[in-house]
Amino acid sequence: MSNNTETKDAPYKPTSPNSKLDFESVWEYAPAPQSSDFVEVKEQYNLFIGGKFVKPSKGRYFKSTNPATQEEITEFAEATQKDVDNAVKAARKAYEGEWSRISAKERGKYLYRIARMLQERAREFAVLESMDGGKPIRESRDVDIPLVAAYFFYYAGWADKLEYAFPGKKPKPLGVCGQIIPWNFPLLMLAWKIAPALACGNTVVLKPAETTSLTALKFAELVKDCGLPDGVINIVTGAGQTGAEIVNHKDIDKVAFTGSTNVGKIIQKSLAGTDKKYTLELGGKGALVVFEDAPIDQAVEGIINAIYFNQGHVCCAGSRLLVQEGVADKVIAKLKDRLETLIVGDPMDKNTDIGAINSKEQFETVNKYLELGVEEGADIYQSKCDIPDNGYFIRPTLFTNVSQSNRVVQEEIFGPVLTVQTFRTADEGIEKANNTPYGLASGVWTDKGSKIFKMGSKMRAGVIWANTYNKFDPTSPFGGYKESGVGREGGLHGLAAYTKI
Amino acid sequence: MKYPDFNHTIPIDNVGVEERVSRLNKRSIKKESKVQALKLALSMIDLTTLEGKDSPGKVIQLCKKAKQPHPSMPNLPTVAAVCVYPSMVGVAKKELKGTDINVASVATAFPSGQAPLSMRLEDTKYAVSEGADEIDMVISRGAFLKGDFELVFDEIAAVKEACGDAHLKVILETGELYTYENVRKASDLAMHAGADFIKTSTGKMSPAATQPVTLVMLEAIRDFYYKTDKMIGMKPAGGIRTAKQAIQYLVIVKETLGAAWLTNEYFRFGASSLTNDLLMQIVKQDTGHYQSLDYFSAD
């Protein structure tokens, strides 16, 4: 079945560009596929509990597919209550046993070892990440995996220096941490969760997302190879129900969740009245505020990075462009031209800019929003690029002629869809930027330093990038205001979330 | 045409420009697209010799190389032009008679431009009278940095007039302009004053052409085209020695300005040693083996 028919039947037609520039070149790039024959994928993956790969107690498995080809890659075990209980017990045993007896310096050594092993096998992990999740190999190779190693290196350094991180305190670990991660940056989110938890002396039970569990289980193999004591890291696969078992398990001391705001609210409710600590990193609807005095060509590039990075599957994606009226036409025209040079297609091709939408479910969600935008009266613009016949692909999209009251402006789409609004004064820009239940990230483009600081202090977002977007660094805390989350990950703040001080 | 206020500076973000270039450098150009790019780059070369010791003999040998880059592959494209000092224009013109290869001449007291305007114009007229098809002039960087934009503008316009039918390439000598914002401003100035091409460097100082500078200039060309419908050419010059670099430049052009600029009518490389590296790579793609430099003519 071709999914493209669904797009073709949609109530809108892909618009063709009105640019004077012609990007349909006589000189086209030949396919440059990343080889994947050196990567081994088993037919079936089991749960990783207590240092061993064990079959799920109910014997159920679910399939994992490559979203770019819709081919089955492998199958994962479905962890049920008993399995989660076993995992928590293994984590508890390790926490009270060997892991608490080794010195902080030794803990750090294990993390350094994991980081180095990840670097050695970086290309393998990059290939798996793209195969399983649909993200372009350029991103998994140049962004995801290098950052994964960087987070492990960073928190490895803190392991034996916690008393310097929190002067005058005696930081203690929390215990067993239940961690649930999303499908947009599978291995990177694993690193954000596991690295600080282990650095502080905790043990973990981690559940990867059901559509992207492959790298987590490859990581489990790496953990086994590196000789980490059994039970310090446990990985259980499954869908929402498995996650709920972790959250509600009575012997979990802390819950760390990254995912949708809806699920985050459910988790928060179920944790009410318990003494479990929690951090939640949820949705977003980031605003990109572009002033008249901005470096326009670089702002356009920043906007492209903000919304089309990882198919727009980024919680901090800048999905609302707010552009000052004086330069709006210029910015929109340039954006449209730039869309024409984005290459959409095979995630394993080194030249691909936008890969496959992560799953059928998400593909349908994004398409629903495209239809909704048109129904709401917005003007839709898509690049005329070719997209593959199979797999879940969506052309990079702009919605113009929208306002704050449109649902495509208010709701997180989590796809390659940007809405464009205009503003006249800085105050209006701030008001519109903040007029959302979310508050994860924002961007400002201006040549004027003082304006950056003014905007930065008034915009209610956990991260504000100036003249750039989607820059990540292990030393920098990340997290949201309002419905975008509770607590911070990364940096010292991220360390504090895994200690009793 | 309405001229912009050159006292107004168009902001350019250094980090953004350099990031864009590094992302474009990640394009992986393989197989037939590589062969195509190598041949395209060869056809865009301004084969250059600009030395005090240049002699008719040297220039004649260079022209022969221009006409027949690699005798064992007779079907390769020729280079776009041979670029020499005014005194050598006559020699080159005679040697290239009957070919499509242009003769380009540097003029206007190249490379410093530190001579009275009247002499610079004479220099230009002489080169044109000797048969130059293209003139590569230098701008007065001192006046530009001093903020005397009107003077720089008028000088370019005067040289353009002296060129007659010859195409004018305006060398900004970006290595002496220091900031991307200055590069942008000088590009705008040159285009409005009548340049047919804008060119990065004389090749006589370091840094010569860089990819970020080229991107800034291409974006200036793009804005000028949006505004006026007029296509201006681009010539990075100096420091481009390898086929790999040349392909990276072509990617930048393709993704900034599109297909129309991917011809030697609108894009040139000012280079000499680049030719042999391109030839080496073309032979490698053809035969699967690298040959030693001894198999390629040294001219």
Reported for B114-118, long-range contacts at CB under 8 A and 24+ positions apart, including other chains, are: B114/B142, B117/B155, B117/B158
Is the residue at A36 inside a domain?
A: no
Residue A349 β-bridge partners: A33
What pLDDT sits at residue A113? 98
Give the model confidence (pLDDT) of B105-131 as tens digits. Answer: 999 999 999 999 999 999 999 999 999
A126 and A164 assigned to the same domain: yes
Are residue A112 and residue A217 in the same domain, yes or no?
yes
Q: HSE of A188 in the Cβ direction (CA atoms, 13 Å)? A: 25
pLDDT for residue B140 = 98
CB B293 within 8 A of CB B284: no
Is A428 in the same domain as A494?
no
Distance (Å) from the C-alpha of residue A359 to the closest C-alpha of chain B? 27
Q: What share of chain A has pLDDT > 70, as a percent?
A: 96
What are the residue numbers of the active site of A?
A: 281, 315
User: Are residues A237 and A164 located together in one domain of the fold?
Assistant: yes
Give B45-240's CATH code, choosing from 3.20.20.70, 3.40.50.620, 3.40.630.30, 3.50.50.60. Answer: 3.20.20.70
Find the mean pLDDT for residues B25-49: 96
B179 contacts in chain A (CB < 8 Å) = none
Residues A66 and A213 in one domain: yes
Same domain, A343 and A489: no
pLDDT at res. A18: 56
At residue A5, the pLDDT reads 39
The H-or-E segment that residue A86 falls in is helix A81-96
B146 is annotated as an active-site residue: no
Same domain as A289, residue A269: no
Residues A116 and A228 placed together within one structural domain of the fold: yes
Q: How far apart are CA A50 and CA B94, in angstroms?
A: 84
Report which DSSP code applies to B129: H
Question: How many domains are there within chain A?
Answer: 2
Tell me, yes or no, whether A105 lies in a domain.
yes
Please check whether residue B27 touches A, CB under 8 A: yes
Q: What CATH number has the domain bearing residue A432?
A: 3.40.309.10
Domain co-membership, A132 together with A270 = yes
Q: Could you confirm whether B136 is annotated as catalytic?
A: yes
pLDDT, position A445: 98
What residue spans define the domains of chain B?
45-240
Active site annotation includes B125: no
Distance between CA atoms of residues A297 and A173, nearest Å: 48
Residues of B in contact with A448 (CB under 8 A): none
Q: Which pLDDT score, from 0 to 100, does residue A4 have?
A: 43
Could you read off the pLDDT of A433-470 as tens digits, one per residue?
999 999 999 999 999 999 999 999 999 999 999 999 99
B254 to chain A: which residues are within 8 Å by CB? Answer: 23, 25, 27
| A474 falls within a domain | no
Per residue in A126-168, pLDDT (tens digit) is 999 999 999 999 999 999 999 999 999 999 999 999 999 999 9
Domain of residue A211, residue span: 44-282+480-500
Confidence class for position A16, pLDDT limits 50, 70, 90? very low
Nearest CB partner across the interface for A447, out of B11, B17, B27: B11
User: What is the per-residue pLDDT across A204-257, written as a single tens digit (0 to 9) for each?
Assistant: 999 999 999 999 999 999 999 999 999 999 999 999 999 999 999 999 999 999
Average pLDDT, chain B: 96
Residue A34 lies in a domain: no
**Do the domain assignments include residue A74?**
yes
- A301 and A404 belong to one structural domain: yes
Helix (H) / strand (E) element for A208: namely none
Contact B11 A468 (CB under 8 A): no
Rounded-to-integer distance, Cα A361 and Cα A374, Å: 20
Substitution target in B13, B30, B221 with the highest count of A β-carbons within 10 Å is: B13
Q: What angle do CA A233, A234, A235 make, to 5 degrees?
A: 120
What CATH number did the domain enclosing A223 receive? 3.40.605.10
Residues A220 and A130 reside in one and the same domain: yes
Q: What is the model's pTM? A: 0.95
A495 and A414: one domain?
Answer: no
- Domain assignment present for A152: yes
| A292 to chain B: closest CA residue | B11
pLDDT of residue A12: 59
Taking the C-alpha atoms of residue A91 and residue A85, their distance in angstroms, rounded to an integer, is 10
